[in-house]
Amino acid sequence: MKIHPTAIIDPRATLDATVEVGPYSIIGPGVTIGAGTVIGPHVVLKGPMTMGRDNRVFQFASLGEISQDISAKPDDDTRVEIGDGNTIREYVTIQRGTLKDTGLTKVGDRNWIMNGVHIGHDSVIGNHNILANNTALAGHVLMGDYVGCGGFTMIHQYCQIGSHAFSGGGSLITRDVAPYIIVQGHPAEARGINAEGLRRRGFKADEISAIKDAYKLIFVSGKLMDEVKRELAVMAQASAHVAQMLSFIENSKRTLQR
């Protein structure tokens, strides 16, 4: 274990023997860190929190602090869970859940979280997401996999962001963003499907075409949502991706960002 002599590690923290900790970092009780993780200088980690293997946390990040919800108390039974292979850049804040929800704020695997990102209490982030500089997630946000957020994206509390969605820089998201969709603006509006991102991830031409047809039905046709859902149900019989879009719509609590 490579621990800089100026780092402060609480004896009730659990660090794998391969963990590295830089100068002046503070790791509190109840923090568990997996193999191969590198904690840079001036990082503050507070428990209860678990962090998996092969993460890299850059200077001045603050992870595991109690939430900014006014009801939060330091001794609440709440926590943060961070998976494997994440890059967490300077000044990122990831805060514990609250007793108003599950008590858990969770980040999955292999996410790229850039400078100044805030992940608020009770948010659940999937895998392979890219959150560009100063993206801010309010509390209770649910994000799927392979989502891209342009710099200064702001996401309202309780919003859901579907997998493979993308937001342009400076977007204000106040409603749910369906899978595969690009949104942009203040407030954000649907601009098309994330076709380039899908191609990069190996989606076939017919799969992208089916998603595009579903997009036109949802966002361009002008039909009422009940009729949209009926037609999507027919399309979903031939496309698992359209089925995913339909499921997302049916489970949306804040309605779609259209």
Maximum CA pair distance of the chain? Answer: 65
Please state whether beta strands 188-193 and 181-185 pair in parallel, antiparallel, or not at all (unpaired).
antiparallel
Q: Which of 176, 130, 131 is nearest to 157 (CA)?
A: 176
Here the contacts of 108-111 (C-beta below 8 Å, separation 24 or greater) are 108/83, 108/145, 109/52, 109/83, 109/84, 109/85, 110/83, 110/84, 110/85, 110/86, 111/86, 111/87
Q: What are the residue numbers of the active site?
A: 121-122, 139
Q: Long-range contacts: 143-152, Cβ < 8 Å, 24+?
A: 144/179, 145/108, 146/197, 146/201, 148/194, 148/197, 150/184, 151/114
Residue type, 179: P
* Helices assigned H by DSSP within 49-202: 195-200
